[in-house]
């Protein structure tokens, strides 16, 4: 087996993805890896041989602590989908030749669904050519839509951000006592875990959001307008949380009803935006009320100032668990989080074959919504609340959080 290890980050960033990177780096060094390389911009950068020796960038304990507290992907990211090796074996030969030149024994990829697909393909090809490189997946996504894991690192912090922001939006939206509809658009293409987190705002000091709309429930524009009308008869100012990915019964995204042009990313995913704006405009046209739309957009991904300590701790742990498994001979698997109890909250790690994860999506159980599909139940809140607990305060300099970042490589 090669003496060195390599790690990359892929897909959308989160506020704790760098904690997983720290976990991989420190665990590899403690287990005797000579060099821990970092891929600049994931597999796409690796194919261009853009790698760095992480020991030259993370030189002391302070760097590691800063890394844990720095949001987004320190190594840069990519949205690059590997083709099947049967259709482009030359690409795989090139990639494995690069890994051989770097004397790589363990390969770690921190990412979501498409990243796990990459690990699966590399492990399969490695087995085919009898390579002894171990390939391990480290879960990451604010969307919380990976199978087999109780939750994903990144989700807890994004959920905490959404809970905080929704409380503040509710306070702002209800000051005038006049008719007002505020529609807040939250990320979530096909799974509504993030939008469901808006339910966390309800507490002794906050009445909570008035309606939650998830992609798991077919959306009816006319029914939506009628629900708003009925709600405003009892309460003039209402706040609604809606997923960017809510769909009509025919499968079209609601945002496609607007005239906006929606681009497609490298994975073939249609860019979703404008759902809240469209719904706010529809309500304004049909009801006697003022409206406002708010798109949290990328703000919810990397809010390092509202990171959950639970989330950072678990992100670090899954990185370390992936290294332990790889150094013990495991390949083609992903580390998953397994919840043992809610009260007190306890969670451990376990391994699952990539085939149980890649290209699959975990949806919000409809049993965790009320019968009207407008609010989350106590079962969801019991699931989500432990994930947002405690804080890891950023290191502040001159009144602003201090981050570590990698200067552009020449």
385 is in an annotated binding site: no
The correct CATH number of 4-142+306-358+389-401 out of 3.40.50.1970, 3.40.50.450, 3.40.50.920, 3.40.50.2000 is: 3.40.50.450
Would you name the residues annotated as active-site residues? 143
Taking the C-alpha atoms of residue 191 and residue 323, their distance in angstroms, rounded to an integer, is 29
Domain map of the chain by residue range?
4-142+306-358+389-401, 155-301
* Mean pLDDT value across the chain: 95
Structure tokens at 103: 């004397």
CATH, domain range 155-301: 3.40.50.460
12 is in an annotated binding site: yes
Confidence of residue 1 (pLDDT cuts 50, 70, 90): confident
State the pLDDT at residue 266: 54
b or e along 72-97 (b: 16 or more beta carbons within 10 Å of the residue's beta carbon)? bbbbbbbbbbbeebeeeeeebeebbe
Q: What is the pLDDT of residues 310-337, one digit of tens each?
A: 999 999 999 999 999 999 999 999 999 9
Let me know: does 245 contact 218? Beta carbons within 8 Å. Answer: no
Confidence of residue 273 (pLDDT cuts 50, 70, 90): confident
Residue 265 has pLDDT above 60, yes or no: no
Q: Tell me the sheet residues that pair with 9.
A: 110
Q: What is the pLDDT of residues 190-239, one digit of tens each?
A: 999 999 999 999 999 999 999 999 999 999 999 999 999 999 999 999 99
Taking the C-alpha atoms of residue 115 and residue 39, their distance in angstroms, rounded to an integer, is 14
State the pLDDT at residue 258: 86
142 is in an annotated binding site: yes
| Of residues 158 and 266, more confidently modeled | 158
Residue 172 has pLDDT above 60, yes or no: yes
187 is in an annotated binding site: yes
Q: Check if 4-142+306-358+389-401 and 155-301 are the same fold.
A: yes
State the pLDDT at residue 117: 97
Q: What is the pLDDT of residues 347-363, one digit of tens each?
A: 999 999 999 999 999 99
42 is in an annotated binding site: no
Taking the C-alpha atoms of residue 57 and residue 252, their distance in angstroms, rounded to an integer, is 46
Q: What is the pLDDT of residues 331-345, one digit of tens each?
A: 999 999 999 999 999
Burial of 61 by CB count in 10 Å (0-12 exposed, 13-18 middle, 19+ buried)? exposed
113 is in an annotated binding site: yes
Note the helical H segments in 215-286: 221-234, 275-286
């Amino acid at each position: 087996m090669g003496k060195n290890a390599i790690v990359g980050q892929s897909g959308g960033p989160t506020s704790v993805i760098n904690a997983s990177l720290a976990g991989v780096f420190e665990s590899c060094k403690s287990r005797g890896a000579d060099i821990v390389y970092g891929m600049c911009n994931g597999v796409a950068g690796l194919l261009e041989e853009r790698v760095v020796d992480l020991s030259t960038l993370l030189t002391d304990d302070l760097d590691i602590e800063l890394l844990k507290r720095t949001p987004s992907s320190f190594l840069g990211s990519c949205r690059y989908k590997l083709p099947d090796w049967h259709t482009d074996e030359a690409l795989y030969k090139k990639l494995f030749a690069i890994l051989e030149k770097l004397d790589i024994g363990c390969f770690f990829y921190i990412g979501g669904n498409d990243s796990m697909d990459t690990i699966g393909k590399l492990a399969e090809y490695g087995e085919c050519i009898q390579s002894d490189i171990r390939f391990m997946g480290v879960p990451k996504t604010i969307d919380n839509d990976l199978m087999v894991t109780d939750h994903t690192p990144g989700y807890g912090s994004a959920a905490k951000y959404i809970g905080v922001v929704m409380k503040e939006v509710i306070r702002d939206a209800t000051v005038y006592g006049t008719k007002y509809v505020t529609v807040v658009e939250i990320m979530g293409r096909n799974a509504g875990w993030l939008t469901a987190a808006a339910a966390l705002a309800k507490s002794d000091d906050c009445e909570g959001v008035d309606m939650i709309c998830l992609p798991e429930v077919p959306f009816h524009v006319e029914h939506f307008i009628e629900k708003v009308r009925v709600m405003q008869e009892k309460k003039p100012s209402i706040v609604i949380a809606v997923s960017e990915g809510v769909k009509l019964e025919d499968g079209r995204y609601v945002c496609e009803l607007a005239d906006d042009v929606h681009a497609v990313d490298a994975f073939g995913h249609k860019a979703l935006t404008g759902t809240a704006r469209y719904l706010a405009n529809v309500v304004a046209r049909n009801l006697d009320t003022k409206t406002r739309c708010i798109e949290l957009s990328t703000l919810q991904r990397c809010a390092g100032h509202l990171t959950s300590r639970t989330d950072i701790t678990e992100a670090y742990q899954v990185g370390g668990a992936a290294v332990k498994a790889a150094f013990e001979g495991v390949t083609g698997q992903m580390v998953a989080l397994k919840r043992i109890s809610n009260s007190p909250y306890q969670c451990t790690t376990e391994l699952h074959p990539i085939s149980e994860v890649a290209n699959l999506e975990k949806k919000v159980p409809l049993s965790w919504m009320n019968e009207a599909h407008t609010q989350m139940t106590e079962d969801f809140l019991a699931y989500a609340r432990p994930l947002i607990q405690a804080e890891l305060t950023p290191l502040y300099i001159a009144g602003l959080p201090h981050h570590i970042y990698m200067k552009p490589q020449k």
